[in-house]
Structure 1
Amino acid sequence: MNILNNEMVLPNGTILSNRIAKSAMSENLSTKEHSPTPVLIEAYKKWAQSGAGLLISGNIMIDSKAIGEPRNVVVENRNNFELLQEWAKSVEGTKSQLWAQINHPGRQAMEQINSELKAPSAVPLKSGGRKDISKKLPIALDENEILAIIEAFGNTSIILKDAGFSGVQIHGAHGYLVSQFLSPDANVRTDKWGGSLENRARFVIEVYRNIRAKVGSDFPIGIKLNSADFQKGGFTEEESMEVVKLLSKEGIDLIEISGGTYEAPAMMGKQKKSTIKREVYFMDYIQKARKITTTPLMLTGGFRTTAVMKEAISSNQLDIIGIARPFAVYPTIGHEIMNESRTSFTTDIKKTGVKAIDGAMNIIWYESQIKRLGQGKLPKPDLNPWGVFLKYFWLILEKKF
């Protein structure tokens, strides 16, 4: 029997049907008003037939005044409740669960969308970010604003639960707001929300507690957490381990490990071959984390062969295999993994040869494939990167979002 087909029981009793999960990817498929579109919902209907035990959505923003990408879905009230219900129903009749990843971008947001940036501290991004120097410096959140954001995470979660989603995942990685609070580089506060690790972790702990108080014990809550920021002066591996302990003690149901920020994108590192440690990113970290927690661990980044996936689960170092970009190219990947009709899931994309453009291609090329799925088309592995880029650039240029 394929070990990847084994069930996984989470701490609150929720059962995942197998060990394969679609990790969050940017879909960028909302309307201009940031509600779910039929194309987005149809893509999840396709993935619901993939054979994966868990599907995690791309960024759902908790505040319409703080949006990471042009077409992020926003859930801050019940205005689009029927559409959310339809999205949640995309997994009906399958063994897949659909969890919503909820997020706030903090300082990591495009100036074309957000006129004002809010962050733990008035510390700008070191690279990328805004062209207008006067707009690069984020405004430090005050106490009331911090409490309001914590409340917003809980508010979004109960709306999504009521709509029929199977669970939520807090985005605590990749340089977004939760990650910013954890980072001593981004968070230089001197009050109870900054300074010591205990204080910097206070935000994510309070976010978790607020969500749990609203959704109850039977609704699973997960988090995506950086193994490290891979930046000088940033969130370290040792600090990450301590946060794993804190969240485990709180009773969180699933911890997904990733790493890096969009300034230092370790989560998009080059795939390597051969042994499990060479194919998979952050494997050294997950082995250490396993020694300090019994909370289920999910690892995302680099898994491309069924042999390595099986070895990872057999080793008992982790519990759930997280896969992202291959889902955009192999929409029935779960079934193919289970019956081993395909054993390798490479995702080599064509490049333009322009470094600045090809960096963005790691996201927008896959968004284009997801859109194809939602339009009822098959993935197109040879999709022209220039066509992808020009369509995206046109949206930004004409502000068609």
Structure 2
Amino acid sequence: MKVAEAFSLKSGQTLRNRIAKAAMTEGLAGRDGLPNQDHVRLYRRWAAGGLGLSITGNVQIDRAHLERPGNVIVDGPLTIDAKAAWARWAEAARADGTRAIVQISHAGRQTQKAVNPSPKAPSAVPLALPGGQFGMPVPLLESEITVLIARFAHAAVVSREAGFDGVQVHAAHGYLISQFLSPLANRRTDAWGGSLENRARFLVEAVKAVRAAAGADFLLSVKLNSADFQKGGFAFDDCIAVAGWLKNLGVDLLEISGGTYEQPRMMDMEGLEARDEPAQASTRAREAYFVDLAKALMTGQTPPLLVTGGFRTLRSMENAAQNGIAMVGVGRPLCAAPECVAELLEGHSDELPRPEDSLAIGPGWLGPRSPIKLVRTMNGFAAQSWYYQQLRHIASGRDAVSGLNPFNAFLAENRENKARS
């Protein structure tokens, strides 16, 4: 099996190859929460780059619970102009034979205090993070849970009517559905908490609602943590069980990830933090980690797997395909070189760009006595900002900026976020 081969899904759709653009939050929308020309330019550029599947950044189903300023939002009926904006986005994302799906999400307690000081969540369990950026969550009423499930379905209908090929329900990274799955964040004693079956009820009902509303021929994906990487949290055995339930529900594609804001393990695997090991060894470790993870998951019942995180070489992607992984996801290299997948598949290169290897900026700009934890944290924010700024450059019709300083990117991104808040 080769990553250049086409892949047919249970819903009947066929992807032209087995490389997907993983979801990356764009932060490009205005205060109206609508996709705009920046989205059109960015996604048309990616579509021209040879992808089999393109997954949008997370689209929020509740404007009171944004993951960050600039999220696209769909939490109610769309006007004629809004529908036209969505249609332009879908057309661009699906150009040149690329299939495109919308990642739909709710941030829950990971909503910043500046957006909502009292975000809704399964239980009143605050994030264990310093800095006071997140408020004390308020437990959802059962009637509110029902409304949110309907909103996931509504977002799927909006996506279909706009022309997208499917949706991905975001149940990872500590956002709302992931919070329901975690016994650390979900302390409920009703039908939505306690046993794994109850904690997974939100996800199961959301998947059912999306399928019923959008149809059997609509691509339905789920993004799920392999584990939260926190003691007492959502564990790998839980992931295996939930994967089996999702297979029985007819999910087309299961993307495996992991971690939360409190324990961003997959972000580390993607290169957000500075590393001491040589770049080549770091890359091999990341690539091997995900292959081993997927192979372990496939000992049970699972939908076809999309695995994202750290893949940089054609050899590692082919190895993943040979080991039964249906799709390989690529994210950050596409911020540096939108056409890099086409170059890989056409034989012009056997390796994707690795921008993460040069983004550690060291402790100097924080002062020589800065604690190492602070340095690593700020390195993470600076690296994220570097990617966000590159997306903004591409979305404006330019190329990524060679030699962009991460600290300058961090300052620029803060200005952008304040302007969109």
Q: CA deviation at 1:277?
A: 5.5
Q: For 2:52 and 2:301, how far apart are their aligned partners in 1?
A: 23
Counterparts in 2 of 1:266 and 1:216: CA distance versus 1, 3 Å: same
* Contact preservation (8 Å) 2:291, 2:323: no
Determine whether 1:299 maps to 2:307: yes
Q: Where does residue 330 of structure 2 map in the other structure?
A: 323
* Contact preservation (8 Å) 2:291, 2:320: no
Read off the aligned partner of 2:21 and give its amino acid letter.
K
Q: CA deviation at 1:128?
A: 4.3
* Contact preservation (8 Å) 1:110, 1:129: no
Counterparts in 2 of 1:27 and 1:280: CA distance versus 1, 3 Å: farther
Read off the aligned partner of 2:382 and give its amino acid letter.
M
Specify every segment of 5 or more residues in structure 2 that has no aligned partner in the other structure, as ranges.
Answer: 272-278, 367-374
Q: For 2:347 and 2:285, how far apart are their aligned partners in 1?
A: 22
Q: For 2:21 and 2:31, how far apart are their aligned partners in 1?
A: 26
TM-score for both structures, normalised by structure 1: 0.94
Q: Where does residue 386 of structure 1 map in the other structure?
A: 407
Q: Where does residue 370 of structure 2 map in the other structure?
A: none
Q: CA deviation at 1:93?
A: 4.5
Out of 276, 281, 285, the position equivalent to 2:293 is: 285
Q: CA deviation at 1:110?
A: 1.0
Read off the aligned partner of 1:269 and give its amino acid letter.
D
Q: Which moved more, 1:178-187 or 1:339-348?
A: 339-348
Read off the aligned partner of 1:105 and give its amino acid letter.
A
Q: Which moved more, 1:287-296 or 1:137-146?
A: 287-296
Q: Where does residue 341 of structure 2 map in the other structure?
A: 334
* Contact preservation (8 Å) 1:40, 1:371: no
Counterparts in 2 of 1:202 and 1:400: CA distance versus 1, 3 Å: closer
Counterparts in 2 of 1:93 and 1:228: CA distance versus 1, 3 Å: closer
Q: CA deviation at 1:66?
A: 1.4
Read off the aligned partner of 2:64 and give its amino acid letter.
K
Out of 387, 398, 416, the position equivalent to 1:366 is: 387
* Contact preservation (8 Å) 1:91, 1:98: yes
Q: For 1:60 and 1:217, how far apart are their aligned partners in 2?
A: 22
* Contact preservation (8 Å) 1:109, 1:129: no
Q: CA deviation at 1:391?
A: 1.6
Counterparts in 2 of 1:392 and 1:92: CA distance versus 1, 3 Å: closer
Q: For 1:49 and 1:282, how far apart are their aligned partners in 2?
A: 27
Map 1:337-348 → 2, pairs under 5 A: 337-345=344-352, 346-348=354-356
Q: For 2:380 and 2:93, how far apart are their aligned partners in 1?
A: 33
Q: For 1:294 and 1:118, how far apart are their aligned partners in 2?
A: 31
Q: Where does residue 350 of structure 1 map in the other structure?
A: 359
Q: For 1:183 and 1:332, how far apart are their aligned partners in 2?
A: 38
Task: Say which SS state the counterpart of residue 254 (structure 2) adopts.
Answer: strand
Q: Where does residue 275 of structure 2 map in the other structure?
A: none
Read off the aligned partner of 1:337 and give its amino acid letter.
L
Q: For 1:294 and 1:142, how far apart are their aligned partners in 2?
A: 31
* Contact preservation (8 Å) 1:99, 1:165: yes
Q: For 1:36 and 1:240, how far apart are their aligned partners in 2?
A: 33
TM-score for both structures, normalised by structure 2: 0.90
Map 1:97-246 → 2, pairs under 5 A: 97-128=99-130, 130-131=132-133, 136-246=135-245
* Contact preservation (8 Å) 1:11, 1:295: no
Determine whether 1:25 maps to 2:32: no
Aligned residues: 395
* Contact preservation (8 Å) 1:306, 1:340: no
Residues 318-360 of structure 1, C-alpha deviations (whole Å, 9 max, x = no match):
1100111111112112211212212222123434435232211
* Contact preservation (8 Å) 2:359, 2:383: no
Q: For 1:75 and 1:400, how far apart are their aligned partners in 2?
A: 17
- Give percent identity, aligned residues only: 39
Q: For 2:121 and 2:188, how far apart are their aligned partners in 1?
A: 11
Read off the aligned partner of 1:235 and give its amino acid letter.
F
Specify every segment of 5 or more residues in structure 1 that has no aligned partner in the other structure, as ranges.
Answer: none
Q: RMSD in angstroms over aligned alpha carbons?
A: 1.8
Q: For 2:103 and 2:200, how far apart are their aligned partners in 1?
A: 19
* Contact preservation (8 Å) 1:181, 1:201: yes
Q: Where does residue 78 of structure 1 map in the other structure?
A: 78
